[in-house]
Amino acid sequence: MSEEISFKSVGVKSTDRKFTQKIDTKPIGIKTPLQLGTGRSGLFQMHFNRADQIADNLRNLILTNKGERLGRFDYGANLREMTTEITSKENWDAEAMMRIRDATQTFMPYVELETFVSSFDTVSEFSGAEPGVGKVKLKIIYSIPQLRVAKQQMNVDLYVIG
C-alpha cells in the first residue's frame, strides 16, 4: 500500500522565479565625458561598477590641473604646465610620475600605482593639428587592492608644444 504524499512537501526547483530574480543595482557615478543616458542610466550614462568608476575618477584626477576644480583649488596632477617643458627638461618622466603619485596619494589613497611608461609621438598635420604640436602617451598600470582589482591599464594622451 502506498502512502499519500502532499504536493506541498515536494520542494521548489532552482529555476523558480524567486531564485532567478535579478537585483537591479543602483548607479555609482556619472561617466565622463558626459553622454546622454540610455536604459536605466537616467539623464546621463552612469557607472554601475566600482572599478569602472575609480578608473574614470583616476583619469579625471590625472588630466585635471590645479585651480580647475571649483571649490577644490588643489585638486589634480597639474601636468598641463609641464607640456611646454618636455623638450628642455631632462627628468620630465620623473616629475610627471611624482605629480601623479602625489595627487593619487592625496585624493585616491586606495589606488596603488605600479608602473608608468611615457612615449612621445608627433601629431600629423592631417589631423588638423598645428605644426610643432606633439603628443605624450602615458601608460599607467594600477591596482585597487580593496576591490581585488589588479593590474589595470590606463592610457592618457597629453598634447605638448614641441
pLDDT in tens, 94-121: 888 999 999 999 999 999 999 998 887 7
| Percentage of residues of the chain with pLDDT beyond 70 | 80
Q: Is residue 73 part of a domain?
A: yes
Number of domains in the chain: 1
CATH label of the domain that carries residue 147: 3.10.450.40
| Percentage of residues of the chain with pLDDT beyond 90 | 28
pLDDT reading at 7 higher than 80? no
Parent domain of 141: 22-161
Q: Is residue 5 part of a domain?
A: no
Yes or no: say if 123 and 135 are a contact pair by the CB < 8 Å rule: yes
**Rounded Cα distance, 72 and 57, in Å:** 15
pTM, two decimal places: 0.76
